[in-house]
Amino acid sequence: MTQNPHRFHAAIVDLDGTMVDTMGDFAEALNRMLADLRLPAIAPAAIEDMVGKGSEHLLRSVLRHVLAQEGSEPTAEAIEALYPQAWERYQHHYLAINGQYSRVYAGVEQGLSQLRAQGLKLACLTNKPLGFAEPLLQAKGLRGYFECVFGGDSFERKKPDPLPLVRTCAALGSEPAGTLMIGDSSNDAQAAQAAGCPVVLVTYGYNHGRDIREVPARAYVDSLAQLDGVVAEPVPGNV
C-alpha cells in the first residue's frame, strides 16, 4: 500500500476507559455474578485496577479478591474450580445490563467526528469480548464511526501483545506508522510501541492504578476533542 508518509491515515481507538466509562457496568454484572455464587460483593473502587486485560483476567482477579476477603489466601485450584460458573453467570448478567450503568466520556463524539472529517479510517480495538463491545457501541450511538470493531476474542492474543494492532491496521489498509493508537492504559501503549503505531493516551480512564503520564506516549489528552491538533502534526520520523 502506498501512503503519504507525512500524515496519519487511520486511528485505532480503545473502548473501556477511553470512549466509555464502563465501571458501573462492571460492578453491576460482577456483583450479580458473585451473588449467584454466594460470594461477598466487591466495591467498584477495587475493580478499577483489574480492568483492561480482558474478561478472563478480570474474573480471576475478582474471585481472588473476594476469596481472600473470606480469610484465607485463595489457591489457583480454588479459583479455577469457580471460574466456569463465574464466567457463565458474568456473561449472562453483563449482556443483560450492557450499557445501562455506563456513560460516554465528554468530547468523545466530537473527537471521533474530527478524525473522520480529516479523512481517517477508524477501528475500535478492545480487550472486551466482541459480543460485549458491539452492543455497547450500538447502545451509546458510537458504532457508526468505525469501519470495523475487534474484541479481545477476535485474535489469538490480546493487547499488550502487538498482534491485534497489526491485524487491525491490515483490516484498515493502513501502515502502522501512519495509524494512531488512542487508549487509556499501558496495555495500549505497549501494544502500539511493539506494533510500530504512535500512541496518544487519555488522562482519565483505567491504568491499573498508575499515573498515565508515567507511560511513554506521543501525547496525552484530557478529551478526545483535543485530538485534532495531534493528528494535524507530521507523523513521527517524517518531520
Question: What CA–CA distance (Å, rounded) separates 89 from 29?
Answer: 9
How many residues appear in the chain? 239
Amino acid letter for position 230: V
The separation between the first and the last C-alpha atoms of the chain, rounded to the nearest angstrom, is: 21
Instruction: Residue 181: name the closest of 205, 209, 162 by CA.
Output: 162
- The 8-class DSSP code of residue 124 comes to E
DSSP H or E segment with residue 49? none
Active site residue 25: no
Catalytic residue among 14, 25, 184, 188: 14
For cell 449467584, the residue is 36
- The angle subtended at Cα 165 by Cα 162 and Cα 166, nearest 5°, is 85
Please provide residue 193's backbone torsions phi and psi, each rounded to the nearest 5 degrees: -60, -45
179 bridge partner residues: 10
Burial bucket for residue 84 (CB in 10 Å: 0-12, 13-18, 19+): exposed
Annotated catalytic sites, by residue?
A: 14
